[in-house]
Amino acid sequence: MRARAGAVALLAILAVVAVVVYGCGGSSSSSTGPSNFSASGSAGSSGATVQGQLLQGSGSAQSESVLVVVFQRALGIGVAEAAAGTPLADATVTLTGPGGPFTTQTDADGKFTFTGLVPGTYTLAVCVGTPTCVSHPVLTGDQITVGPADLGTVNGTVFNDTVQVTSVDIVAESVSAQGILQNDAQLCIASRIAQAANVSLGSIIDMRQQHMGWGKIAHQKGLSAAGVIGGGNQCDATQLSNIRAANGQGNGHGNGNGNGNSKGNGKNKS
């Protein structure tokens, strides 16, 4: 009789779990579509991109709801553990920064992408689980600074309650010296780095042409990337005109999207 009563009680508990989980939309698969997210609607030539991949850490539980895991453990049912190094799907990734926060989810390969970002510094946050998404603090490397046309890549490993960033890399997508001189946003950043580091503008442009992101260039020059990169700290038209004139580009102005027609002959009228 006791065994029968226990079985009935167990079935009742499982029925409640099923109603709560599936009634709240608690599925382990994503229903929000692809992981690509455009912060501005489109990624222009001055927009930045941040992408990355999240992997399972050793001892990480599979993507189950918190309620299901609690009941499984309470009833002594084993919780499936994910193999370390496998992609973490359906994790929610948030970038907080200029114009944000922006949120997306990892795809089946654990990958995520944000496009069309305003240049600046963004803080990375991760939460895991359905229907309740539990925040996992990022222990190190939770910030990334990107400039115009930069491609930032952040890879990390997610453990039971923390995220360990394993690599951060920023490369330049636009490496034309002519394009940099004609692009308001990129020229302004290059000029600020050169002035702060007390080096020539040409040397900074050379570094950019080696596919180095603006944040990486600033770091190599001993500068704070956040201090020289950002949409709110732009040069005015007079400054840009003077910089171009000093570098043989005439007095024209780019339009901030690399489409300026400021090709001068480098000669100034007396």
Q: Which pLDDT band holds residue 216 (cuts at 50, 70, 90)?
A: confident
pLDDT score at 232: 57
- Banded model confidence at residue 112, pLDDT cuts 50, 70, 90: very high
More confident residue, 31 or 130: 130
Overall average pLDDT of the 138-160 stretch: 90
**Stretch 15-43: mean pLDDT, rounded?**
39
Question: What Cα–Cα distance (Å) separates residue 249 from each residue in 32, 181, 185, 187, 263?
Answer: 47, 8, 16, 12, 5
d(CA 91, CA 81): 16
- Residue 231: which pLDDT band, with cuts at 50, 70 and 90? low
Residues 224 and 226: their CA atoms lie apart, in Å, by 5
Residue among 179, 126, 124 at smallest CA distance from 153: 124
More confident residue, 56 or 81: 56
Return the pLDDT at 91. Answer: 94
Q: Give the phi and the psi of residue 92 in degrees, each rounded to 5.
A: -95, 125
Q: Report whether 92 contacts 133 (CB < 8 A).
A: yes
Query: What mean pLDDT value characterizes the chain?
Result: 74
Is the confidence at residue 255, as pLDDT, over 80?
no
CB of 158 within 8 A of CB of 60?
Answer: yes
Determine which of 29-38, 84-93, 151-160, 169-178 has the lowest per-residue pLDDT on average: 29-38
Q: Higher pLDDT residue, 59 or 18?
A: 59
Torsion of CA 63, 67, 69, 73, to 10 degrees: 180
